[in-house]
Structure 1
Amino acid sequence: MDLVEAVALAAVSTLTFIACWTDLRKMEIPNVLTVPFALAGLVYHGATQGWDGLGSSVSGLLCGMAPLLVLYLLRGIGGGDVKWFAAYGAWTGVAQALALAVWSILFAGGIAALLLLMRAPGLRKIGKAVAWPWGRHPLEAAKGAAKFPFMLAVVPAFAVLAWGQFA
């Protein structure tokens, strides 16, 4: 791993940690976090790699944002998640941004499957014992209305990709 990649990894690790913290606490990823990180990614890659680096960073920003924008328009995630993925893409580029989107959606599907399992007759008692700080409890919410912070899916996806880089 070269210095440019190491700085990018440090930046997205910091971005991920802070975003996860705020999303778990408030179900929100603020613009004051995502916008400066996105701009810093553009500036950093432009300064260290010239026009090619800036172009790659802009492409990563757009490709990080695009798939999540679709989920946002379908009301599956919040706007902060979209901006977080744009910032992530500005630092990592197209391939990593798209890979993280795919892995995050897969992990979110796994979480959704667990929420559905909690509704099963034999598991309802256990499911009701699980504290749920993000709105109505999945067993009390109307069908399909249970919510969870998307960063619960992003963090393990991020870990899988980071592990793949170092393994």
Structure 2
Amino acid sequence: MQIEQYRDALLLLMVSIAAVNDLATRRIPNRLLLAGLAGALFLHALSAEPGTALLSAFTGMLLGLGIFLPFYLVRGMAAGDVKMMAVIGFFTGPAEAFQIAILTWCAGGVMALLLILVRSRLRLALVNIGHLLSGFIATGTKSADTALPQSAGSMPYGLAIAAGTIVVLVTQYG
């Protein structure tokens, strides 16, 4: 088995544990992410071209962090989700991290719509979206000023991140 396959297996294990934990407790443990990061670092260092692998890993990490951080800053995502995407980017590099982010948004959007409909919160969700958009359009408005009066509900976004990751990994191996 090549190093990349071990890396992908470890990534699959990490996102699966994170998704189950997020479903059960609504938290993604830092210890899990640190263990995944350490494992990915070790495997990148063992690759045929460790310098190239580590450069790609750090670039992927920055991309994963940069893509999800704005959602955290407007309180649309938890810090664990952002950290998880950064660690996934470290595993995969920037190209796959971007693919995973796109698929995660798709999975998360479907999950959000289903939860809103099941919880009968469609009207509240639309009001909140309008409130957020009006805060961004108004000049001089800070993200703290766009606090929502009531949440339409939270969801375990680690599950959506895991789904996006799994789809990318499955398509790689056909």
What TM-score, normalized by structure 1, do the two folds share? 0.78
How many Å separate the matches in 1 of 2:12 and 2:159?
15
In structure 1, distance between residues paired with 2:90 and 2:164: 18
Q: Is the 8 A contact 2:112 2:155 kept in 1?
A: no
Give the superposition deviation at 1:47. Answer: 3.2
| Equivalent residue number for residue 132 of structure 1 | none
The alpha carbon displacement at 1:82 in A equals 1.1
Deviation at 1:78, TM superposition (A): 0.9
Matched with 1:82 is: 82
Shift of 1:144: 4.2
Report the counterpart of residue 111 of structure 1 in structure 2. 111
How far apart are residue 156 of structure 1 and its match? 2.5
Q: What aligned pairs does 1:7-156 form with structure 2 within 5 A after superposition?
A: 7-48=6-47, 49-118=49-118, 119=120, 144-156=151-163
CA contact (8 A) 1:46 1:52 kept: no
- TM-score between both structures, scaled by the size of structure 2: 0.75
Q: Which amino acid aligns with 2:160?
A: A
CA shift at 1:10, angstroms?
0.6
One-letter amino acid of the counterpart of residue 12, structure 1: L
SS in 1 for 2:154: coil
Aligned partner of 1:163 among 136, 155, 170: 170
Contact kept in structure 2, 1:38 and 1:61, CA below 8 Å: no
CA distance in 2 between partners of 1:12 and 1:120 (Å): 34
CA RMSD in angstroms comes to 2.1
Q: CA deviation at 1:143?
A: 5.7
Report how far residue 42 of structure 1 moved: 2.4
Q: Which moved more, 1:99-108 or 1:40-49?
A: 40-49
Aligned partner letter, 1:54 = L
1:59/1:94 contact within 8 Å kept: yes
Runs of 4+ in structure 1 displaced over 4 angstroms? Answer: none
User: Which sits farther off after the overlay, 77-86 or 110-119?
Assistant: 110-119
Q: How far apart, CA to CA, are the structure 2 residues paired with 1:155 and 1:5?
A: 18
Within 2, Cα distance between the matches of 1:35 and 1:165? Answer: 25
Unaligned runs of 5+ in 1: 122-141
Code of the residue aligned with 1:17 in structure 2: it is S
User: Percent identity between the aligned chains?
Assistant: 30
Higher helix share: 2
